[in-house]
Structure 1
Amino acid sequence: MPEIILGTLRIPTFFLVISLSLSFLLVYLSKRVDQFGKERKFTFDLAILIMVAAFLGGRLMHVFYEEWDYYFKAPIQILYFWNGGFVFFGGMIASWLAAWSFCRLRKKSFTEWADFFTPLLSLSHALGRLGCFFAGCCYGSTCFLPWAVETRHPTALYMVLGELIIFVYLLFAEKRVRPKGQLFMMWVFLHSCLRFYVEFFRADFRGDFYNLPLLGRLSISQLICLGFVLISAAYIILSSESLKKLYNRRPS
């Protein structure tokens, strides 16, 4: 159901879900601000910057990586974002860079704020994939399992379920004392593992594929996931060791 038709009005389902999701996420963010005693103005300034950067980064990666030949011939179509065309990793990387730059400019700890926003990253991704499901994009390969949708893997729903599980886990995980940035890297690790696995069931355009020893044929998204898995795992391990050393140095 890519559109909801009300008379002559056509509402893209994806953007309807995204709009409702953003409204919910902003309310939830406001509650987290009160819960953790954060500076409200800076929090929402950062949140808006993240959303804008994610939108632009996701759109530009789609334009330059997935459909450059098409947009080169019809550049005005780049502005027609309501017709679809976003790449998650483009938005993720752009929002990280924007958030890091903004925190550095305001002399705030990026890792501390990344941890604060981490549960929202997982929840927002789950809600975004729900929009993908209704729009019919990011579809899966053919299958005949009981939960198949028109004999295809409901890959968007796999991501929704996986991210909701990660979200609940992160809410419990953030209650423990952790080194700055570790909670954020836990989401990066878990999300990348989830995305790497779900990619095997995707049947839409995946870009170039690469044959790797032991791993087999992988998409560019899976290679990015592998990179994030290695980086996040290393950060989690090293930061945990640093915390242990700090506790060991304390006088008993």
Structure 2
Amino acid sequence: MIIHPDFDPVAIYLGPFQVRWYGLMYLLGFTAGWALGRHRAARPGSGWTPAMVDDFITWCVLGLVLGARLGYVLFYDLPSYLHDPISIFQVWHGGMSFHGGLIGLCVVVWLFGRKYGKTFLEIGDFLSPLAPPGLLAGRIGNFINGELWGAPTSVPWGVLFPDPRAEGVPRHPSQLYEGGLEGLVLFTVLWIFSSKKRPAGSVMGLFLALYGLFRFGLEFIREPDPQLGYLAFGWLTMGQLLSLPMVLAGAWFIWRGYAAKARAS
């Protein structure tokens, strides 16, 4: 058994201002995406310039943060936020939804494409390999905060989280499992896959399908959100219900891309 270090959620105190670990993880994720994007833009024939990447990442920050927060409010705890609307703006208390952030990014991709004359699939393929490092950073932030833990376990690496709601029993560090799969593994697969020219939409499709599969599987050893519990058949969580359409959409984009390539050859 491993005892969680019970980190101070505030990483840096600057007089009356506080810089929290969760915010630093978001900053780290966006910085990694920006650096990787500029690296990809420098490839011959990429169709991107470093200045376009700078502009795009700025748009992504706004779309992701707004979408992730609104997604959490709508998908996970709407009654609570309707009772106390001011708490919607208290993002330092946590409460961000990946699926809401994805919707926000889709809006950004559409708007950015209109400005620069790029297709949705073209931008999606460029963006997808940049996202996993941010997912990894976010999950590390969840672990530091001691939140979103897994189910009780007897494995030697079970973690005893300090939050009383963890009931004082060792639990799966599901945040780290998700960081490993959604961050490290997904990044490695997408970076290698996208190193060669692929059919339009196939890189984005692979991202959607793999993330959805990883998230769906790991939800079985992650405690469901207490305000929601299990929503279907006594074992499906909100995260799983939102991930299933991602798997289907990802598979469709991959099939569509390679079918179009086969017809053209």
Q: TM-score, normalised by structure 1?
A: 0.87
The runs of at least 4 consecutive aligned structure 1 residues that moved more than 6 Å come to: none
Give the whole-Å Cα distance in 1 for the aligned partners of 2:33 and 2:197.
Answer: 25
Per-residue Cα deviation, 1:8-55 (whole angstroms, up to 9, x for no partner) = 775422112222332333223222222346123332222211221110
11, 24, 40: which one aligns with 1:4: 11
Match of 2:85 in 1: 75
Is the CA contact 2:30–2:61 (under 8 Å) kept in the aligned structure 1? no
Structure 2: segments with no counterpart, 5+ residues: 1-6, 161-169
- Letter of the 1:24 counterpart: A
Give the whole-Å Cα distance in 1 for the aligned partners of 2:47 and 2:221.
Answer: 42
Task: Return the offset for 1:229.
Answer: 1.0
Is the CA contact 1:192–1:225 (under 8 Å) kept in the aligned structure 2? yes
The correspondence of residues 1-252 of structure 1 with structure 2, limited to 5 A, is: 1=7, 2-4=9-11, 10-35=18-43, 36=46, 38-150=48-160, 151-162=170-181, 163-205=183-225, 207=228, 209-212=230-233, 217-247=235-265
Backbone CA RMSD of aligned residues: 2.2
Taking structure 1 as reference, are residues 200 and 44 closer, same or farther at Cα in structure 2, changes over 3 Å only?
Answer: same
Q: What is the aligned residue count?
A: 244
Give the whole-Å Cα distance in 2 for the aligned partners of 1:102 and 1:7.
Answer: 36
Structure 1: segments with no counterpart, 5+ residues: 248-252
Task: Return the offset for 1:68.
Answer: 2.8
Q: TM-score, normalised by structure 2?
A: 0.83
Match of 2:165 in 1: none
- Letter of the 1:186 counterpart: L
Per-residue Cα deviation, 1:110-162 (whole angstroms, up to 9, x for no partner) = 21121111111122211211111111222111112122211111111111111
Q: Which has the higher contact order (CA 8 A, sep 6+)?
A: 2
Give the whole-Å Cα distance in 2 for the aligned partners of 1:85 and 1:221.
Answer: 13
- Letter of the 2:221 counterpart: F
Give the whole-Å Cα distance in 2 for the aligned partners of 1:131 and 1:241.
Answer: 40
